[in-house]
Copies of this chain bind each other. A is one copy, B any other.
Amino acid sequence: MKKLIDAVDDVVLDAMRGMAAAHPSLRVDLEQRVIVRSDAPRTGKVGLVSGGGSGHEPLHGGFVGYGMLDAACPGEVFTSPVPDQILAATTAVSGGAGVVHIVKNYTGDVLNFQMAAELAEDEDIEVVPVVIDDDVAVQDSTFTAGRRGTGATVFAEKIAGALAESGGALADVAGVAKEVNERSRSFGVALTACTVPAAGRPTFDLGEDEIELGIGIHGEPGRERVGLRTAIEIVDAALSAIDEDMPLSGSEVLVMVNGMGGTPLMELYGAYAAAEKWLAGHGATISRRLVGNYVTSLEMAGCMISVCRLTPRLTELWDAPVETPGLRWGR
């Protein structure tokens, strides 16, 4: 295993040290393992917290800041954060107006966020969880009952974050995150596996000429293994699966062509060109987009395509200013 790391056991902590040093606008608590906006808690503002296993950076810590998350709690690599950690994040951002938890649908995450919410209620903090389950590839998977939560998490964090920033109430902030989830679908494709540092070897084996359609962001099995395909064919497989589940014709959409960590940006732009052509040919119009690495799986090569059917209000919230390490515009 070749990694740019020191002790295997310290990779998450070392990354948090780097976040702390690199981003003075964040408060990074190495004890509690939370990353918090430096101006939190803000009285009267709904808090927005997310978290999950590390190894998906910039998700979630890179999305903490103005107009997006108030705090993130990174677990060990591909491992859920623990309830105490989620509670610490929740307490840190509670300004009296309640806190929304954005939870990707993995059984461990859902359980730990639920326990943290109960602990927070004991401290008189009202918590509303929103579970993201946008991955159309498979119904159940290695770590999940139901659909997995993937790329739509970025959409939900950005859009709910904008509403919370502008003074939205608890039910409305949670409501818009749910709406984003309902209107979003994702599908991922792996060209290579990735290696969790503590494991020391790839999470799965993929032949020299094989790719996996419908891969999960922790390397969970997808729909099928097939021979190497062109970018156009890969994009077609992803968008066809999405379109079959949520017809896109007639929609204005937000599209993310997301790198899994080990795919050159040049290739992602090529895939985006293919996605734009595919969508135009199926009656959909891309009105907003992201091309780059937003929800990664360590150094996995491949891409995930996520689509959200926009409404004028969602577009407005998407366009609102955001200032985080991983996503920034308007200020």
- Which A residues have a C-beta under 8 Å from some C-beta of B? 2-6, 11-12, 14-22, 54-55, 57-58, 62, 77, 191-192, 208-209, 211, 228, 230-232, 234, 261-274, 276, 286, 289, 291, 293, 296, 298-299, 301-303, 325, 328-331
Contacts and interface: CB of A to CB of B under 8 A. Distances in A.
A48 to B, nearest CB: 21
A20 B270 CA distance: 11
23 contacts: A2-B192, A4-B231, A5-B267, A11-B267, A15-B270, A17-B273, A18-B276, A19-B269, A22-B269, A22-B272, A22-B289, A55-B264, A55-B266, A57-B269, A58-B265, A262-B301, A264-B296, A264-B299, A265-B293, A291-B325, A299-B301, A330-B331, A331-B331
Contacts of A16: 269
Contacts of A5: 230-231, 267, 270
Contacts of A234: 4
B232 A6 contact: yes
A231 B14 contact: yes
Copies of this protein in the complex? 2
Contacts of A231: 4-6, 14
A25 B312 CA distance: 21
A302 B325 CA distance: 21
Given A2-B211, A231-B6, A330-B331, A18 B272 contact: yes
Interface-central residue, A57, A267, A298, by most chain B CB under 10 Å: A267
Given A15-B269, A62-B265, A330-B331, 7 more contacts: A2-B192, A4-B263, A4-B271, A11-B266, A19-B269, A55-B266, A266-B298
A21 B299 contact: no
Given A21-B276, A192-B2, A264-B296, A270 B329 contact: no
B18 A268 contact: yes
Contact of A265 (B211, B228, B296, B301): B296
